C-alpha cells in the first residue's frame, strides 16, 4: 500500500466484515434490515421476546459454568457498537469455555473494533486481537472470521498478494450464500484494484468451485419467490413495510417471523431447509443458546442428516 493509499481492510469499516455490528442480516427470512441511529428501545423492557441488555447481563452473571449467556451478551453489545463491553463479555465466555474457536474469534474481532482509531498511534490489529485469532485457528483452522483477519494483517503489513491469497482460500471454503460471501469478494476486488494486482479469471473460478449450501427457499431474493409453503420468505409488501419501520418495530417483526418458522417446524420436523433457516435467524438475533437448541432438535428429528446439519451449523458459528 502506498503511503497515502489504504485498502478497505486497512480501515475500521473493512474490519466489520464478519461481525454483523452494523448489519442485522436476516438472510433466513430473505431480506436485510440495517440497524442504526441511537434508538434506546433495545435497552428497555420489550414485549417481543427480544432480551434486553439488562436481561442478558443478569442471565450471564447467573451462569458460572455456561459460556452461552456471556456470548449472547457480547453479541448484543457488539451489535450496539459497545465494543469495550463486548470484549469484557467475550473474555468471560472464553474463560468458561476456552475450546470454542468461534468465541475466540469473536473476542478478537471485538478487540479490533474497540481500538480508538482517532489515536495517532492506534494499532489497527492489536496483539491481543491477533492472539485471540491465533487461538481460534488452533481450535478450528477453518474459522472464517479468524482467517479473514489474519489476511487483513498481511494486507496491513504490505503483503497484499498474501492477503488476497488468504481471502481466496477463505472464499473457496465459503458455502454459496454464506453471509460473508459478498464482502469477501468485494474485499478481494478492491484490494487487487488498489494495488494493481491482476486477478485474471481467478475470482470466477473460485466462485464456480465452492461447496454448495443446503438450499434455503426465500433467502436467494428479497421476496423469496421460490419459497415453499413451510419455509417462506417475506412478501414484497412485508419487505417494503419493514424499510419504513423503527428499529424496535423491525426487531419485533423479525422475532415474530422467526417464532412462526419455529412453530411450522414443530409440524414438519423433517424440513432441513427450515432448520438451517431457524439456526441462522437465531444467530443473527444473538440468540446463540436458541440456535444450539434448534440444531439439537434438527439432529434429533433427522439423525440421518446429522453430519450435514452440523456442517451448516458450524458455518454459522454454532458448536
Indicate the helix (H) or strand (E) that contains 26.
strand 23-26
For the chain, what are the domain ranges?
224-319
CB 209, CB 1: distance < 8 Å: no
Q: Which pLDDT value is given to residue 276?
A: 84
CATH of domain 224-319: 1.25.40
State residue 220's pLDDT score: 32
Measure CA 283 to chain center: 7
C-alpha span between 167 and 191 (Å, rounded): 11
**Confidence (pLDDT) at 296:** 92
pTM for this predicted structure: 0.59
pLDDT along the chain (319 residues), means of 10: 37 35 24 30 46 90 88 87 93 93 90 80 87 94 89 89 94 77 84 90 86 41 34 47 55 72 86 83 76 91 90 79
DSSP per position, 1-23: --TT---GGGSHHHHTTTT-SSE
How far apart CA 31 and CA 29 sit, in angstroms, is 6
Residues 6+ apart with CB under 8 A from 218: 29, 30, 224, 226, 227, 231, 232, 233, 234, 277
Give pLDDT, residue 162.
95
Cα gap 283→76, rounded to integer Å? 11
**Measured CA angle at 282 (ends 169, 285), to 5 deg:** 90
Distance CA 92, CA 37 (A): 28
Q: What pLDDT sits at residue 130?
A: 96
* Three-class DSSP category at 142: coil
Query: Phi-psi category of 158—alpha, beta or left, where left has phi over 0 and alpha has psi -120 to 50?
Result: left
Q: Nearest 5°: phi and psi at 10? A: -95, 10
| Residues 214/298, Cβ–Cβ less than 8 Å | no
CA distance 159 to 194: 13
pLDDT at 21: 23
Cell numbers that stand for 119 in this block:
489515536
Cell numbers found for residue 85:
463491553
How many other CB atoms are there within 10 angstroms of residue 155's CB atom? Answer: 26
List, as own/partner pairs, every contact residues 233-237 make where C-beta atoms lie below 8 angstroms and the sequence separation is at least 24, other chains included: 233/29, 233/30, 233/31, 234/29, 234/30, 234/31
Cα(296)–Cα(309) distance, rounded to whole angstroms?
Answer: 10
The reported pLDDT for the residue numbered 228 is 41
Amino acid at each position: 500500500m502506498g503511503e497515502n493509499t489504504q485498502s478497505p481492510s486497512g480501515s475500521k469499516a473493512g474490519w466489520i466484515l464478519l461481525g454483523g455490528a452494523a448489519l442485522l442480516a436476516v438472510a433466513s427470512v430473505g431480506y436485510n434490515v440495517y440497524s442504526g441511529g441511537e434508538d434506546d428501545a433495545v435497552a428497555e423492557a420489550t414485549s417481543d421476546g427480544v432480551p434486553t441488555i439488562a436481561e442478558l447481563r443478569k442471565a450471564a452473571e447467573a451462569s458460572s459454568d455456561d459460556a452461552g449467556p456471556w456470548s449472547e451478551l457480547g453479541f448484543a453489545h457488539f451489535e450496539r457498537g459497545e465494543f469495550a463491553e463486548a470484549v469484557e463479555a467475550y473474555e468471560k465466555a472464553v474463560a468458561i469455555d476456552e475450546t470454542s474457536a468461534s468465541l475466540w474469534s469473536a473476542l478478537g474481532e471485538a478487540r479490533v473494533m474497540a481500538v480508538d482509531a482517532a489515536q495517532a498511534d492506534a494499532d489497527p490489529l492489536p496483539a491481543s486481537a491477533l492472539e485471540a485469532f491465533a487461538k481460534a485457528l488452533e481450535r478450528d483452522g477453518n474459522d472464517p472470521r479468524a482467517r479473514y483477519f489474519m489476511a487483513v494483517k498481511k494486507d496491513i503489513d504490505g503483503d497484499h498478494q498474501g492477503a488476497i491469497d488468504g481471502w481466496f482460500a477463505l472464499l473457496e471454503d465459503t458455502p454459496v450464500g454464506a453471509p460473508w460471501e459478498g464482502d469477501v469478494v468485494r474485499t478481494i476486488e478492491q484490494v487487487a484494484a488498489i494495488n494493481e494486482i491482476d486477478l485474471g479469471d481467478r475470482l470466477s473460478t473460485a466462485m464456480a468451485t465452492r461447496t454448495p449450501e443446503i438450499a434455503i427457499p426465500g433467502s436467494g431474493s428479497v421476496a423469496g419467490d421460490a419459497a415453499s409453503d413451510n419455509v417462506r420468505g417475506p412478501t414484497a409488501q412485508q419487505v417494503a413495510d419493514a424499510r419504513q419501520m423503527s428499529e424496535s418495530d423491525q426487531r419485533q417483526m423479525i422475532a415474530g417471523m422467526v417464532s412462526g418458522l419455529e412453530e411450522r417446524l414443530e409440524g414438519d420436523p423433517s424440513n432441513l431447509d427450515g432448520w438451517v433457516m431457524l439456526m441462522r435467524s437465531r444467530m443473527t438475533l444473538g440468540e446463540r443458546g436458541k440456535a444450539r437448541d434448534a440444531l439439537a432438535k434438527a439432529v434429533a428429528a433427522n439423525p440421518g442428516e446429522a453430519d450435514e446439519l452440523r456442517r451448516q451449523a458450524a458455518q454459522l458459528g454454532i458448536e
